[in-house]
């Protein structure tokens, strides 16, 4: 006699569909891109803190993983962590090309330090 297990052929062993990535408000993406262009503020975190923030109209906005991914996709390059001269207690997030230019200047004794 053949043993039948409940749910054996009912699809119970089928993996669920992969979760969709959270949708990011396109306006937030544009605000983050604008913050990257603003060299006085930009996207930064205090050294020792885990999260990056950027400012909009006096409010600190959190750069989530999903938002960062959208910003990097729009830029076409990754964001990298860098410490700017005179801001040793702060870690900035910059497009890789800009960070590399600052690091090159650092090798000449005048630019940023990598994290």
Which tens digit of pLDDT belongs to each residue from 82-114?
Answer: 998 888 899 999 999 998 888 887 666 555 555
Which tens digit of pLDDT belongs to each residue from 44-89?
Answer: 999 999 999 999 999 999 999 999 999 999 999 999 999 988 888 9
Q: In what order do the strands lie in the sheet with 59-62?
A: 59-62, 53-56, 43-46, 90-95, 79-83, 113-114
Q: Is 75 exposed, middle or buried (0-12, 13-18, 19+ CB in 10 A)?
A: middle
**Cα–Cα dist 109/37, whole Å:** 24
* Confidence at residue 30, expressed as pLDDT on a 0 to 100 scale: 96
Task: Identify whether the C-beta of residue 66 lies closer than 8 Å to the C-beta of residue 115.
Answer: no
Q: Which two tokens stand for residue 6?
A: 């409940």
- Which stretches does DSSP call E strand in the chain? 43-46, 53-56, 59-62, 79-83, 90-95, 113-114
**pTM for the predicted model, two decimal places:** 0.71
CB atoms within 10 A of CB 58: 5
Q: What is the dihedral of CA 30, 37, 63, 48, to 10 degrees?
A: 180
The enclosing H or E element of 70 equals helix 65-75
């Amino acid at each position: 006699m053949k043993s039948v297990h409940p749910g054996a052929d009912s699809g119970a062993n089928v993996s669920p569909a992969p979760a969709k990535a959270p949708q990011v408000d396109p306006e937030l993406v544009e605000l983050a891109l604008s913050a990257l262009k603003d060299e006085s503020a930009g996207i930064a975190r205090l050294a020792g803190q885990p999260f990056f923030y950027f400012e909009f109209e006096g409010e600190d906005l959190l750069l989530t993983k999903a938002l960062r991914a959208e910003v990097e996709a729009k830029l076409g390059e990754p964001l990298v962590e860098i410490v700017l001269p005179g801001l040793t207690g702060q870690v900035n997030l910059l497009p890789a090309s800009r960070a590399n230019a600052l690091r090159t200047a650092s090798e000449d004794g005048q630019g940023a330090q990598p994290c």
